[in-house]
Chain A
Amino acid sequence: MRFLSLVCALPLLVTACAWEDDRPIVWERTRNVLGPISLKTQIAYVDSALDRVTLLDLAADSPRITTKNIGRNAMHAVPSHDRHRLFVITRGEEAVHHGQIDQEAMLWSLDTENASADPVAYTIGSPFDRIAVSPDNTIAIAYFSAAGPDAEGFFRNPNELAVIDLTRPPGDDNPTLKTIRSFGSVPEGIALSPPMTVPGTASPRTFAFILSSNNLTVLDVSNPSRREISIRLDLGGTPVIPKEVVFAPNTASAYVRSDNARDVLQVLLQSAEPTIANGNDYRPQLAELGAGGGPTDIAVYDDVTGKRYILAATPNTSEIVVIDADTAQFRSVPVSDPIDKIILFPAGGDVPPSPPHKALFASIGAKMKRVYVLDLEHINDPLTQASVRRINLDQPIRDVVPVPGRELAMLVHDDNRTVLGLLDMGTESTSPLLGIDRLDSYDFSPDGSHLIGATPNVSRVGFVALDNLHPTDFRLDDEPHRVLSTANAKIFVDHGDPLGHATIIPSPTASREQALVLTGFLTVNLLDSEP
């Protein structure tokens, strides 16, 4: 009997041991998918649970899916200005439970054009949640958003920055952690300059302009160990909040527009002898340019001779101010409306745009029923009288969006984006566009030939040929969530599925037979990945 009991008990014991099952904690994590993020010919998604970036390459007829592993808990991702690279901040992890690892916060740089290139990880130490990248992709700065650090951790320093030299591999001196001087405010944004040569110094370098309430901080990020220079903006009254920075690299200067400021602030960088070892070899010279009325928007452009101009709208003085960035000379053009948006034409596009020759001025906040056009071609000629032309609209304007590479602008007439118009800057005439529902997601084809729109309630993608305003639509099998246009003119319709579900339309004129539905790309090879 004892033998029989043993015979019965032994299998149960063995079975009980075999039933012990340690599931990797990766499958229990909270999953947040960042994206879709439009790159050159690729679409990127960042998965915070699987710790990977999924790239869909739409360059060929058939989409190619690749994944690149990154660190734990991705929290923020931005593409580079040229959309060739993707930068991701991962929060890292503490090894509290079995299966977790100790990993610091990192910034990951992914070369999406090179499939064989491994992501480069820079240990940034703190869980920053914003990234600023220089236009030439050589410098990145990770910093905290205005919301500040998250609840984890003990001490927090909202004025800390990590300056990363993207041209060098990670090391003890890369990134450089800095804490900028604070006068009670925290950074609300960072603008990185293109390479600028300060007159009297050796080589071009990148400067960071750190925007915070009542303060503008200038940091030589090509030499991040040097001290920053702080510029107080307030006069003791209403807080002055810097909002926009445009750069004039030829003259090593920047123009800053601030809310509640009297003027556009010119920051001209000039050489100076360092007063201490490893001190700054430059100093900013400040000038308030003659806007004189609290600018609400600024725009910058170079004319055919390469001369840089700043346009500023100053509703308080009912003027538009055209500033020569090199000489700070300006001229004013009277406009009665409270202009708060300036758009230059032609704008954007994939080919290098020709110098803008017209500017459009709109009053979005005041919801005015008119816009203004200013010719820029002879704006610097003192013998010509600069004046704006008024274009009357049927309805108040809520937003205006330039069509890339074209002299067209889409006018939005209501908050729901159901009533639209197209403004032809050549003829300065408008045409109405009627949609069946609100335009929740839209994009323009890279050559500006088509407006592409979608709304989640309607299983269609709408196209408007912008040459003749001919509307067509493409029936989808599922409701769209977001629509994107890639640099090779393919249309990517994301359906908002956490498993990955998208429709790829080869061109705005493609038929349904040419389109492809791609599913499961966000879980590709998920079961084969050993956590």
Chain B
Amino acid sequence: MRALLTLLLLASAAPLAHAGNNELTMGSYVRALRSSSANAVTTESLTGGSLQVGRALHLGLMPDLEIWATAGLDWGGTEGTMFQTMTTEVDTLGLTVGGRARYALHANLAVSGRLDLGTARNELTLTGNGHMVSDSAWGGTLKAAAGLDLLAIAHPRFSLGLRVELGHVAATATALSPREAGDSTKIELDAMQASIGHLDLGGTYLSFSVMSQF
């Protein structure tokens, strides 16, 4: 908290300044999984990391409002148990493209809103009684978030700071049919997997990122 106040005090002394045209953010997030399908496999939240790049579009809609085109990569995972004996593991890898509107309140402080479309590969692994089965599938995602940028360094061509974002991910539920890994060295019998159902990893998330514009 003290560091945050110091950061804000420093920021309050600086004038409004232009940032660079490029942006790179890297951080971590925690996503509350609240769908019934996610509740089935874990009580934990999804945690992971994200990497995002952005490019200023200079649309000039209004003073101090910047529009950015963004592309991102995020990954995450969580674990859980079912029926006290069966362990579960969920992994996800997402790709997004979208836009961000960023309004500079001060040279060291900005608020932003973000809307991304993307896709995510969800993988579910179940282990029980010595057997492990897994499956993965791609599904669509829609991500909306509001953010706060706190810049420690705010020069005209380079800025560095912290971005805090609160958002929600709406995800299509992906159909999964977990199966045991086969032995590729042997000719195996034809197999048919029953579907375990649809896994929805959507939920509200909070992320902290280090951001830089240059």
Contacts and interface: CB of A to CB of B under 8 A. Distances in A.
Given A19-B32, A497-B131, A11 B190 contact: no
Interface stretch (B17-25, B65-73, B77-85, B94-102): B77-85
Contacts of A530: 36
Contact of B164 (A11, A29, A31, A65): A11
Contacts of A49: 83
A527 B109 CA distance: 43
B193 to A, nearest CB: 5
Contacts of A21: 32-34, 39, 43, 45
Given A499-B131, A516-B192, A29 B83 contact: yes
Contacts of A1: 5, 8
A11 B84 contact: no
Nearest to B36: A530
Interface string A205-243: 000000000000000000000000000000000000000
A434 B203 CA distance: 60
Contacts of B185: none
B180 A500 contact: no
A520 B178 contact: yes
B114 to A, nearest CB: 14
B91 to A, nearest CB: 16
B61 interface: no
Contact of B39 (A14, A23, A29, A520): A23
A115 interface: no
Interface of A: 1, 4, 7-8, 11-12, 14-15, 18-19, 21, 23-24, 27-31, 49, 62-63, 65, 476-478, 496-501, 503, 512-513, 515-521, 523-531
29 contacts: A7-B111, A7-B148, A8-B148, A11-B148, A12-B206, A15-B32, A15-B204, A18-B32, A18-B203, A19-B32, A30-B83, A31-B83, A62-B192, A477-B182, A477-B183, A496-B129, A498-B131, A499-B178, A500-B194, A503-B189, A517-B188, A517-B191, A518-B192, A519-B180, A523-B196, A524-B194, A527-B37, A527-B176, A528-B198
What 4 pairs across the A-B complex have the smallest Cβ distances?
A: A527-B197, A31-B83, A528-B197, A527-B37
Interface of B: 4-5, 8, 32-34, 36-37, 39-41, 43, 45, 82-86, 109, 111, 126, 128-129, 131, 133, 146, 148, 164, 166, 173, 176-180, 182-183, 186-199, 203-204, 206
